[in-house]
Chains A and B, each alone.
Chain A
């Protein structure tokens, strides 16, 4: 193999800037160049499929994948098929990453950019969460590229947007981590806390206590969030009635559904649908 190409942050931004943000299309028939970096990089696949060569291995990234690239990761990205492929890519200085993991060690250590695993962290987002991630990325457009903006952005992504899928710390018992993974499945989360406890395979009391300890919320709150997110996705992508959606997400009581929905999205399901329906 040829000597590695190392990309330098100073080739992208001036010294007073804290990050570089770009939303771009990958060209077809152009093979990405294998490189590592003197910076960190977060990439979100907005549309299409990407062939990702990473540390000697190949993977296909699809719409909704977010990858947390560390400086030493040796990688290349190329468009994988003939459809339009667009990605959002964010590069930032090591000083930002170092600061965040030092200050928020308890929340971030060994996760996201700071995993010691061979391959970088990759998280798959769909439905409302994916929309939220893209919207959060767009807040970086047209503003001054300061430490405040990038650090706030990264904290938002890591503590808020990815809160539900990635919030569980690796220090949690493995049965709990597995239960969270399994609960991403609609078959499980529509059954609410009962579904969660069943996949956890432990006693009710114990599951509740550990969930509160490691996720900071109860199994009911956790599964309600997933159910409401799922309902939001159905509202924007389908024409099923609001009542049917509530039922499909396991809510028998429509007014309870409305209340939870409003708490999570700040508007009623009908308003949400009007705002998010794509012509």
Chain B
């Protein structure tokens, strides 16, 4: 397919920072694929579509969320039987560059900054999909300001997809499942051993593959989950700190203190003091 380049200036006035389009797709391919001088996030709201992307054809269905970079050349062809509706959010390069420069270290090379031929793709369902659609429709009626689009993108990256726990497409299924299953308290109590066990592969292999796809070892990953679990109990229960530590499967209390401080910058006690939630009393 031949490629033409779409320009952001055709959608935006000077001083406007983004554009939202919500549209039904045609059931045949356009004559040209297109790439862009801007970034684009699209979400399949309903139906199914073929997606021609950088020379490959993939099937996308309701819930697919794709982070398109300027150089990605693509085109759509909606399913003839079901049709397809997408929400498309486009914004300037300056926004992407800024977000990556300021916060990129936190999320690493993913989303718009994935170093791969194909763009980063996620599949949303249930409440996450609902949240994504709501946020996009609210964006549509908002002022097209710079702060609004950057707020919106950060919302997608931290709250719709929680980058600290979500798993990119392209990762082996067993590893994805292991990440999911490792969040249950019985497993996270076992630490790295628990992770390796739910992964159902050899220890060495699990470490190597995880390092490649997620940049961390099972033990670092599990400690993070354990500390989040601990923080949840500290903030919302009356368990003693020792009990919380045991609840997370850490028997050595000073090790628990050390990990907790590394993760939250506070001691568990300070954390509890700061984050204590009042019991809500119904009127």
Contacts and interface: CB of A to CB of B under 8 A. Distances in A.
B151 A160 contact: yes
Most buried by B among A17, A86, A141, A221: A141
Interface string B68-91: 000000000000000000000000
B204 interface: no
Contacts, number: 110
A159 interface: yes
A217 B146 contact: no
Interface string A1-41: 00000000000011011001111110000000000000000
Nearest to A212: B143
B166 interface: no
Interface string B127-154: 0001101100110011111111011001
B144 A159 contact: no
A263 B274 contact: no
B142 A278 contact: no
B277 interface: yes
Given A104-B147, A158-B147, A152 B106 contact: no
B116 interface: no
B155 interface: yes
A167 to B, nearest CB: 7
Contact of B147 (A16, A155, A217, A225): A155
B98 interface: yes
Nearest to B143: A216
A147 B143 contact: no
Contacts of A99: 102
Contact of A23 (B130, B131, B263, B278): B278
Interface string A208-239: 00000001110001000100000000000000
Contacts of B281: 84
B263 A163 contact: no
Contacts of A21: 274-275
Contacts of A221: 141
A144 B274 CA distance: 14
B106 A86 contact: no
Going nearest first, the 5 A-B pairs with the smallest beta carbon separation are: A216-B143, A266-B134, A155-B151, A104-B147, A14-B265
Interface of B: 15, 98, 102-103, 106, 130-131, 133-134, 137-138, 141-148, 150-151, 154-155, 158-159, 228, 231-232, 235, 263-266, 274-278, 281-283
Given A22-B275, A146-B106, 13 more contacts: A23-B278, A25-B278, A86-B278, A107-B145, A144-B263, A148-B106, A148-B154, A160-B142, A163-B142, A167-B143, A217-B142, A278-B283, A279-B282
22 contacts: A16-B265, A17-B265, A17-B266, A22-B275, A23-B275, A103-B147, A104-B145, A107-B148, A141-B277, A144-B263, A144-B264, A151-B103, A151-B154, A152-B154, A155-B147, A159-B145, A160-B138, A160-B142, A216-B142, A216-B143, A216-B144, A225-B141
